[in-house]
Structure 1
Amino acid sequence: MIIVDAHQHYWQPSRGDYGWLAHAPAVLNKAFLPADFHAQREAAGVKFSVLVQAAPTEEETRYLFELAHIDPAVVGVVGWVDMEADDVGARIDALIRDGGGLLCGLRPMAQDIADPDWLARPSLDRAFDCIQDCGLAFDALVGMPQLPALCRRLRRNPRLSVVLDHAGKPAIADGRFDQWTSWIDELAQHPPLHCKLSGLLTLLGEPVHEDAIEPYVADLFAHFGAERLMWGSDWPVLTTHADFSHWLHVAWMLTERYAPGSQADVFAANAARFYALDIDLPVPDFAGVSP
């Protein structure tokens, strides 16, 4: 079966625009590039991936376009644009042009912005309208503090194609569940919204066992179904807690537990459809199966 990684990163700290790395685990403060990842991805049987921005600059998005030409497995790029710029429409058009078909979405690093209500600001209306009009997806990199603003944004832009990165970063290490699941319940009422089955292991604190993610995964399947979930590795951030193949195995087993037989959707088809990726996926054979 073809597997699509809906969320992976490359970065080169010497570029100087990854400010968040100063506060990240030391093991992440180095270059992670195609040559560092190819063997792991191939060994795990993952054929394609979506490359996601890791710096709040348009220059880094263009750098990712360059890396995508080096790495043939990359079939889409989720970039960054200055969403508060007066000429945001022209900036998005330029990124689409420079990407040559690679740009499939945009992602502000909302979790790092001091104002938790930033996503709901009217000053961003123009940017969201442009994203929607251009047929791009919006990756919501948010944590618990930003979820209320995201809900308000979705009420303002009901047709926006949104994917919630890393399940909205629930407080798994603290065992808090109720507040997160109430926000997930509201977000799930927005039909175009999808959710990434990604980034959960890195939310664990010591000595919390990885089994602690299961109630959250179960809740995601209950709210979104297998039709609106897509698997992502979040490599190389993942490497602080697990290797690539291990997370793929864990996610695969949990998917089989809560949505038996739906791996083709969760691990490939949903991402391909959501991001409009130019890849050929096998058509399931339903011959002899009753409707």
Structure 2
Amino acid sequence: MRIDSHHHFWNPARGDYGWMPPDDPVLTRQYGPEDLAASLSATGVEKTVLVQAAPSVEETEYLLGMADATPHVAAVVGWINFEDPGQRVVLERLAKHPKFVGVRPMIQDLPDDGWMLRDDVQWAYEALIDLDLTFDCLGFPRHLSNFAMLLTRYPDLRAVLDHCMKPQIRDHSDDNLRFWADGMARLARDTGAYCKLSGIVTEADDDWSDEVLRPYTDHVLRSFGAGRVMWGSDWPVARLRCDYPDWHAQAQRLCADLSAPDRARVFGDSARDFYRLT
């Protein structure tokens, strides 16, 4: 089964997408299941994981409503307020929904790079473990060491690194590549985290060719192994660079040297196992 481990639906009129540019011709429009259907058919992707894009419980409930009405959406990764311990009851309520699998705080947008290690948010990681829910790690290379500290502190937390932790490919240099690569290798070695092969075309500039992306994708595959890597489209954000089938085909080329079983892991089985999809 081919699975897209990371995509979004949204409606800017909801008013809770603070990161979204006000007049972007690609991003600032509504996206729903009908907009994705043709791409799923063209690529043979059968199931998807729908991921939050707004820091609100209301958006999570909006996504769960769409998931109920959309057979290909197998799981929803939502959001709760980590700074409010009272939201454990919200998490417990959401966890009762059959398609709710975990949460993603929008760490990349927070001004404090050490936010994830603050004492007042630790209850949330413990709650995720207690409820057997997942944690999507959204950050930049500057967050790598903090994620390493967090995930070694909670070895039972089922975590996945979104978008290869967003290597800054547009600012490529040997030093930047080495810093990112060392941090990713440490996470692969010292934690049980998975990694999403997603979101990197938009970390490149005008050139997102195979040759530009390959040093990054090869390092992820080498460090984590196919059993802990899952492909994701990051659609519709990826539309800033290319269409859904284009990135799917490019990822297939970048994984062409893998064995058939390993390609099956990257393009479906790893996501199925991590998110426990049926």
Which amino acid in the other structure matches residue 144 of structure 2?
L
1: CA distance, partners of 2:192 / 2:267: 18
Distance 1:178 1:26 in 2: 35
Paired residue for 1:283?
none
Counterpart code for 2:187: L
Distance apart, 1:23 and its partner CA: 6.7
TM-score for both structures, normalised by structure 2:
0.95
SS in 2 for 1:135: coil
Q: Would the alpha carbon gap of residues 115 and 228 (structure 1) be closer, same or farther in structure 2, given more than 3 Å must change?
A: same
Change (3 A) 1:23 1:204: farther
SS of equivalent to 1:46? coil
| Alpha-carbon shift at residue 76 of structure 1 (Å) | 0.2
Which shifted more, 206-215 or 145-154? 206-215
* 1:142 match: 139
2:107 is aligned, of 107, 110, 135, to 110
Is contact 1:204-1:210 (8 Å) kept?
no
Measured in 1, the distance between the counterparts of 2:116 and 2:49 equals 23
- Residue 10 (structure 1) aligned with residue 9 (structure 2): yes
Q: CA deviation at 1:35?
A: 1.1
1:23/1:186 CA distance change after superposition, 3 Å: farther
The number of equivalent residue pairs is 274
- Report whether the alignment pairs 1:197 with 2:197: yes
Q: CA separation in 1, counterparts of 2:77 and 2:134?
A: 8
Q: Give the aligned partner of residue 188 of structure 1.
A: 188
- In the alignment, the residues of structure 1 paired with residue 267 and residue 208 of structure 2 have an alpha-carbon distance, to the nearest angstrom, of 26
SS in 1 for 2:75: strand
1:209 offset after TM fit, Å? 3.8
Structure 2 residue aligned with 1:255: 255
**Contact 2:148-2:187 at 8 Å conserved across structures:** yes
1:15-50 C-alpha deviation (Å, 9 max, x unpaired): 000011127843100101111111111121110000
Residue of structure 2 in register with 1:225 after alignment: 225
Q: Given the alignment of the two structures, is residue 270 of structure 1 paired with residue 270 of structure 2, yes or no?
A: yes
Q: How does 1:1-291 map to 2 (within 5 A)?
A: 2-22=1-21, 25-97=24-96, 100-175=97-172, 176-207=176-207, 209-257=209-257, 259-261=258-260, 262-278=262-278
Tell whether the 8 Å contact from 2:227 to 2:266 is kept in structure 1 after alignment: yes
Distance 1:208 1:130 in 2: 39
Give TM-score scaled by structure 1 length: 0.91
Q: How much does 1:56 deviate?
A: 0.2
Amino acid aligned to 2:215: P
- Structure 2: which 5+ runs fail to align? none
Alpha-carbon separation, structure 2, partners of 1:167 and 1:251: 13
What do residues 111-168 of structure 1 show as CA deviations (whole Å, max 9, x unaligned)? Answer: 0000011111121111000011111110001112222211111121122111000000
Partners of 1:36 and 1:201 lie apart in 2 by 20
Q: Is the 8 A contact 1:53 1:80 kept in 2?
A: yes
Superposed structure 1 runs of 4+ greater than 4 Å apart = none
Amino acid at match of 1:94: R
Letter in 2 for 1:5: D
1:189 to partner: Cα distance: 1.9
Structure 2 Cα separation of the partners of residues 79 and 148 of structure 1: 24
Structure 1 runs not aligned, ≥5 long: 279-291
What's the CA shift for 1:84? 1.2
- Any idea what SS the aligned residue of 1:19 has? coil
Secondary structure, aligned partner of 1:227: helix
**RMSD of aligned alpha carbons:** 1.4
Which letter does structure 2 place at the counterpart of 1:44? T
